[in-house]
Amino acid sequence: MARRPISHLSVAKPESGSDAPALACDVAIIGGGIAGLSVALNLPSELRVVLVTKHTLGESNTRYAQGGLAAPIGLDDSPRLHLTDTVVAGAGLVDEDAARILVDEAGESVHWLIEAGTRFDRRAQEHTESHMSHTLPWKQAAEGGDRRTDDLATGYDLAREAAHSRRRVLHAQGDATGAEIERALVQALRERPAVSILEDTSALDLLVEDGTCTGAELWHRERRLRVTARLAVVLANGGAGQLWKRTSNPKGATADGLALAFRAGAALADLEFMQFHPTVLVPPEDSSEAFLVSEAVRGEGAYLRNLVGDRFMFRYHPDAELAPRDVVARAIQSELLADGAVSAFLDLRHLPESEVRHRFPTIGAVCRRYGFDLAHDLIPVAPAAHYFMGGVAVDTTARTTLPHLYAVGEVACTGVHGANRLASNSLLEGLVFGRRAARAIAAESVRTLAQRWPESPVLTGAAVDLTGLVEPQVRLDISVAAQVRDNLRRVMWERVALARNASGLRSAVEALRQLAVQGPVDFETANMLFAAQAITTCALARNESRGAHYRADFPASDPLLAGRHTLVPARPAGAAQRHSEGPATYVHA
């Protein structure tokens, strides 16, 4: 279907003091991954929706998710077991009420995803009964409450990944799960006549009036544009991986949502928790590409070996290669430092070649591009920044502390991941809480939305003061500040990565402040500078090691800090609105 232009939306006269025309809608969604798409597709079809995406629709972190989507739908599985695995992996910081919602609504949400057109891989018929329940717990007969068989969701091939006690991970085309989900949801979205898509568009700032979020100021193909939203603005614009020198994230993961929300007056939480994926491909030559080798590879039996060929994970955790991600990532880093090596190695040579090639076609193709055979060679891997557990503080309906502003997916901190995310729970979170946000927006009146405030454990944490943060001057008429970004990413990788300490964090804060005052930068780099300073300040404030946050000077977890979140309180709404400088170039109505 052809892309719809934005011309059918209401075009208002510019507000006083603003030269940018305003597009009027009911709901504005910033971000086009599984979270944003799930919101858009679960809103009532008559609502006018504007979906803003930084690049082409379909280009998001979701697209690059290989491993799959976790859901407790196996015959030997249950939401209770999935919850237990999630809580254990989260290292004493999981909000169990939010996590219970995640696992309880997983089955129904997967069913919706399948009905929306997602094609997950199926098992051969003879193996179906050993992995899938004939009667699925989320589907009940309309009368009598008896469970019934659901043909749509039986027979799917379930994989096991690290720290999962059961096979519960759905996947598509072997290792292209995110791409398949994105394909299906984008196709479904293009069939919604009330949804308009703004591609190649970034959010400059959120609009706030009388303490309520009313829209967003956008940068649409070198021109300013304002969108006003009657009911809600939804942040769904992903994570912050590009703040680190090595990351599995695409170029757009520059922490925009954190900066937008904070400037508008919303609270943030748990910013010190960035997950580093243990196994990102290390190319033989210098390359900017950091290709993730899925957790599912180890789930299917791959070994990790060090420079001298030893399997080393048993020395670090009884689950060896299937230990939680934070444990595996730090173990690899320890081996690299001990050996003076640049990578550890994944070893699949003991696995049947046919299964390796069938299960991991995408990973195999990328390995071949760099001269490796996934089935026969040792594959060099090392940790890289992967997933942000912190974010904009929300409740279980995705509401932030700023009325009318919602946040879903990686940009949000629901508390379901705690200090370390369980593998394949990220797509599930975007799906479940995206649908919950849509229901909340549809169900509540504008007045009710404006008066109610979230209640969530992530809002009861220890407050961190960001008054020392330096915000750079921003211009819209300059190119990307490449040197500033390179220096920022180097500082974060060297001092705010897998192993941290007070002296390194303090020096990082000072280095980031110096970068912020060097001169005008583009708005995206400004967002990165804000987020880097905020993350580093929060990491300095948590004097313990927990999950993905490891302090070499406080190597143990503090029992008194279990369940205690780190909160960046909201500024007064709109107090920190940024005014970009540059030539006036505008959209013409």
pLDDT computed for residue 8 by the predictor: 35
Q: What angle do CA 571, 408, 400 make, to 5 degrees?
A: 30
Q: What angle do CA 9, 28, 570 make, to 5 degrees?
A: 145
pLDDT computed for residue 125 by the predictor: 57
Torsion sign (Cα): 419, 434, 174, 60: negative
| Burial class, 371, CB count within 10 angstroms (exposed 0-12 / middle 13-18 / buried 19+) | exposed
pLDDT one-digit tens code per residue, 156-202: 999 998 899 999 999 998 888 989 999 999 999 999 999 999 999 99
Which ranges of the chain have pLDDT less than 50?
1-17, 126-153, 446-447, 450, 573-589
Domain boundary (336, 358, 386) is at 386
Rounded Cα–Cα distance for residues 372 and 375 (Å): 9
Whether residues 242 and 259 fall in one domain: yes
Partners of 195 in the β-ladder: 49
Residue 161 lies in a domain: no
Say if residues 201 and 52 touch (Cβ distance below 8 Å). yes
Whether residues 371 and 239 fall in one domain: no
Q: Name residues whose C-beta falls within 8 Å of residue 371's C-beta, 6 or more positions apart in sequence.
A: 284
Whether residues 379 and 438 fall in one domain: no
Q: For the chain, give the mean pLDDT.
A: 87
Whether residues 393 and 415 fall in one domain: yes
Residue 498 lies in a domain: yes
Domain, as residue range, for 292: 278-386
Torsion sign (Cα): 64, 67, 73, 77: negative
pLDDT one-digit tens code per residue, 95-139: 999 999 999 999 999 999 999 999 999 987 544 443 333 344 444
Domain boundary (386, 417, 438) is at 386
Q: What angle do CA 70, 413, 443 make, to 5 degrees?
A: 85
Residue 90 lies in a domain: yes
Domain boundary (337, 371, 386) is at 386
pLDDT computed for residue 12 by the predictor: 40
Determine phi and psi for 201, rounding to 5 degrees: -130, 130
Write out the two tokens for 193.
């006549």
Q: In this structure, what CATH number is given to the domain that contains residue 247?
A: 3.50.50.60
Whether residues 377 and 418 fall in one domain: no
| Tally of domains within the chain | 2
pLDDT computed for residue 384 by the predictor: 96
Q: In this structure, what CATH number is given to the domain that contains residue 300?
A: 3.90.700.10
Whether residues 231 and 361 fall in one domain: no
What is the SS3 assignment for 247?
A: strand
Catalytic residue among 48, 100, 325, 421: 325
Closest CA to 53 of 200, 189, 211: 200
Tell which phi-psi region holds residue 97, choosing left (phi > 0), alpha (psi between -120 and 50) or beta.
alpha
Catalytic residue list contains 500:
no
Whether residues 437 and 563 fall in one domain: yes
Residue 125 lies in a domain: no
